[in-house]
Amino acid sequence: MNFFTCKRFKSTLVVIVSLFFLCLSTVLYAEDGYRLWLRYESVKDVQKLTSYKELIKDLVIFGNSPTMNAVTKELTFGTTGLLGKKIPVNIKLTSDGSILAGTLDQLKKLVPSELLERVNQMGEEGFGILTLKISQKKCIIITAKSDIGVLYGTYHFLKLLQTNQDINNLSIYEEPKIKLRLLNHWDNLDRTVERGYAGFSIWNWHKLPGYIDQRYIDYARANASIGINGTVLTNVNANALVLTPEYLIKVKALADAFRPYGIRVYLTARFSAPIELGKLKTADPLDSTVQVWWKNKIDEIYSYIPDFGGFLVKANSEGQPGPQNYGRNHADGANMLAGALDAHKGIVMWRAFVYDNNVPDDRAKQAYNEFKPLDGKFRKNVLVQVKNGPIDFQPREPFHPLFGTMPQTPLMMEFQVTQEYLGFSTNLVYLGTLFQECLMSDTYSKGKNSPVVKIIEGNFESHTLSGMAGVANIGNDINWCGHPFAQANWYALGRLAWNPEQMPETIARDWVRMTFSNSELVVKPVTAMMMASHEIAVNYMTPLGLHHIMGWSHHYGPGPWVKNKQRADWTAVYYHKADTLGIGFDRTESGSNALSQYAPEVQNTYKTLESCPEAFLLWFHRVPWDYKLKSGNTLWDEMCYKYYSGVDSVRWMADTWNSLEGQIDTERFNQVKMLLSMQEKEAIVWRNSCVLYFQTFSKRSIPSSLEKPEKSLEYYMNLKYSFVPGN
């Protein structure tokens, strides 16, 4: 090979290698969704970018605790990505355009105390972001009473940049309205996830404690960025093994990884653990040997994890053991555990999700019947964790009657982020609107304007404990949640737990800006899709107050025909009660009288067909097929129109999304496009199944303006869902 040939070969090789690494770089940084809402992409708005660069020239970060080190990393990483250049970190203030981050104590020599007095009046997690002049230099201060407050302020400041907000004259003061802001993982020790639709559990127990996956750190970052400060690692259908030393050393490794981000670890306690682990003959909470066993076990846990948060307990529900096995009540069980935890400042979150198939009463009434008489009987470090509605995370439910009826007991909200009854991770359903619908419902517990949100914030009774939890939708899928838009529900849970009075549209817009684009050509239509999506799903699944008509066990797809199972209240026919005369569950005085568990003003809203909001009509009433609704349509026709509208609206979402081609990165655009196509097919199955099934009772025709189902009812009843996850 002569020199020229050799030189040309080398040049060609260089080009090939360069192209290889360019392609590799593209693969490594593909928009696969892993970065969630913390993408920190360079600001596209030239005017904003110029302004930000003028205002952010260096970072001055005080302290070197693990949390302040996290602040340094996040500010450096975030500003460098957003501004497109390396932002230096200095040890002292040198010029205009500095970001100063530190606690009040760390900044007191630089900043006059009166300028930070409002921050000083906040709690440990509150923060201030202020534009101030220090030594004639214009600076942005991020400060708080504690390191974790500074971290929360850091994420808020980076959100301002990510959403292209003006940062010229900042005067922001924020602190959480809810004390405990948790994710509840329904993760099993074998790494399956009950009702999980995004792969297996992210907790790799085999590799712990020696191997700390970067995913654990990024999980902590994501949670801290939205104010979540606790995580329950294990399923409420608990396994006692997690309380053994073999697992506790692994739990400790996770707690150590999460601690710099302000996240405390909690576990689920299996009530029968003294029998299963301690070889005792009983788990009776009033038995002294049981009490000693739990005290010793809890002391052992704190020897591994000094800031262990406490226990979440599901007891005497769906076959789980509990104090009622021994003739005791829920307060007896919760107080026994709370007594042992109190010395360590730990808490008990005792779930109110209870029902008994042997109790011949409306399932919607049973939690109230069991817990209302116990109001005021729980120890001060116990919260009763109540689902948003009285049945089980349905597409739509009225607020739970316990909210507003247990004034002496702090009640903790439990929402479901994973979409067990809302199409799993193949359906785009933004839950911010569902959450708000419950939070803003008026309980009338202290007269008008007594919404659920005030109950859980503890405002009315001045409870020191308050909490909100969300059943997590996180798995080991590369994008964490399965559906790109399912990330928005994790995000919304955190934002609303921090401040439950925020508007879901504001939250959605922020998420779209941080996740996809700041262009209004993207933000406006995508936000519109998100805000409509919950109502759309309700329409093609359970319109007009229908509920719990999903497929048997897996809860995927329609199953209004489900009957003759081991529990009546696990069947669809128990809830819709359709026959030739009408449909719906009568919960008024003439029926189960579940309505009596609400305040008189709430009862007055729902007690008659005329006064009841149509969204809850079949929840509270049994209604004749020919009853005329406000639209002038009969119940049957209106039900058909709702189901068909749901399908048409999914098509609208798909058309809206498809119009954004070229404005969204190719990978995620195609993901959502395919998933919306799946959602349309699933919505059609829902529509046709329910309309055809209920038609067998109504004996009425589908309105002539609507297309007729292509398949028979028998076809839909015989569909199998063999591959659905999370069952």
Does residue 528 fall inside a structural domain? no
| Residue 371: CATH number of its domain | 3.20.20.80
CA distance 312 to 349: 5
β partners of residue 447: 445
pLDDT value for 616? 98
Q: Which amino acid is at 707?
A: E
Same-domain check for residues 432 and 559? no
CA pseudo-torsion sign 41, 47, 51, 54: positive
User: Do strands 171-174 and 127-134 pair parallel, antiparallel, or not at all (unpaired)?
Assistant: antiparallel
Backbone angles phi, psi at 509, to 5 degrees: -60, -45
289-311: per-residue pLDDT in tens? 999 999 999 999 999 999 999 99
The pLDDT tens digits for 112-148 are 889 899 999 999 999 999 999 998 899 999 999 999 9
Alpha helices in 593-634 (DSSP H): 600-606, 617-620
Q: Provide mean pLDDT across the span 210-235.
A: 98
Higher pLDDT, 96 or 650: 650
Same domain, 500 and 642: no
The answer as to whether 191 is a domain residue is yes
In a domain, 39, yes or no: no
- Count the alpha carbons within 13 Å of 159 in the hemisphere toward its beta carbon: 23
Burial class (CB in 10 A: 0-12, 13-18, 19+), 630: exposed
pLDDT, mean of residues 707-724: 95
Q: How far, CA to CA in Å, does 418 sit from each of 232, 402, 425, 558?
A: 15, 23, 8, 18
What mean pLDDT do residues 66-80 have?
98
User: How confident is the model at residue 422, as a pLDDT?
Assistant: 98
Whether 190 and 139 share a structural domain: no
Question: Does the residue 557 lie in any domain?
Answer: yes
According to the model, what pLDDT value does residue 235 have?
A: 98
- Considering the domain architecture, whether residues 79 and 109 belong to the same structural domain is answered as yes
**% of the chain beyond a pLDDT of 70:** 96
Count how many domains the chain has.
Answer: 3
Which residue numbers are catalytic? 318, 392, 420
Neighbours of 356 (CB within 10 A): 17
The domain that contains 146 carries what CATH number? Answer: 3.30.379.10
Residue with tokens 């009530």, as numbered in its chain = 271
pLDDT tens digit sequence for 497-518: 999 999 999 999 999 999 999 9
Cα within 13 Å of Cα(296), Cβ side: 12
- Residue 68 in tokens: 């302040």
Report the SS3 class of residue 615. helix
Q: Which two tokens stand for residue 726?
A: 């999370």
> Does residue 600 fall inside a structural domain?
no
Alpha helices, DSSP H, located in 306-365: 330-342
Tell me: pLDDT of 5 over 80: no
Cβ neighbours for 558, distance < 8 A, ≥ 6 positions apart:
541, 549, 550, 551, 685, 686, 689, 690, 693, 716
- Say yes or no: 325 and 468 in one domain: yes
Query: Does residue 196 sit in the same domain as residue 321?
Result: yes
Amino acid 727: pLDDT? 63
Over residues 416-421, mean pLDDT: 98
Percent share of the chain, pLDDT over 90:
92
- Which residues have C-beta within 8 Å of that of residue 339, sequence separation ≥ 6? 291, 379
Within 189-276, residue ranges assigned H as helices are 214-225, 245-258, 273-276
Across the range 690-718, mean pLDDT stands at 97
State whether 253 and 142 are in the same domain. no
The mean per-residue pLDDT over the stretch 87-104 comes to 91
Tell me phi and psi for residue 234, to 5 degrees: -125, 160
The average confidence (pLDDT) of the chain is: 95
Indicate whether 386 belongs to any domain: yes
Are 249 and 158 contained in the same domain? no
In terms of domains, do 148 and 86 share one? yes
Question: What phi, psi does 183 have (nearest 5°)?
Answer: -100, 135
Q: What is the pLDDT of residue 326?
A: 98
Query: Considering the domain boundaries, does residue 726 fall inside one?
Result: no
> What confidence category does residue 204 fall into, taking pLDDT thresholds of 50, 70 and 90?
very high
- The reply to whether 223 and 164 lie within a common domain is no
Q: Which of 484, 507, 530 is the last residue of a domain?
A: 507
Please indicate, yes or no, whether residues 156 and 184 belong to a single structural domain of this protein.
no
pLDDT at 620: 98
Quick check: 10 pLDDT over 90?
A: no
| Residue that is last in its domain, among 154, 174, 194 | 174
Which of 124, 147, 174 delimits the end of a domain? 174
Which residue range is the domain that position 658 belongs to? 539-585+622-717
Residue 494 domain flag: yes
Q: Which helix (H) or strand (E) holds 669?
A: helix 666-698
568-603 pLDDT, tens digit each: 999 999 999 999 999 999 999 999 999 999 999 999
Q: Are residues 136 and 253 in the same domain?
A: no
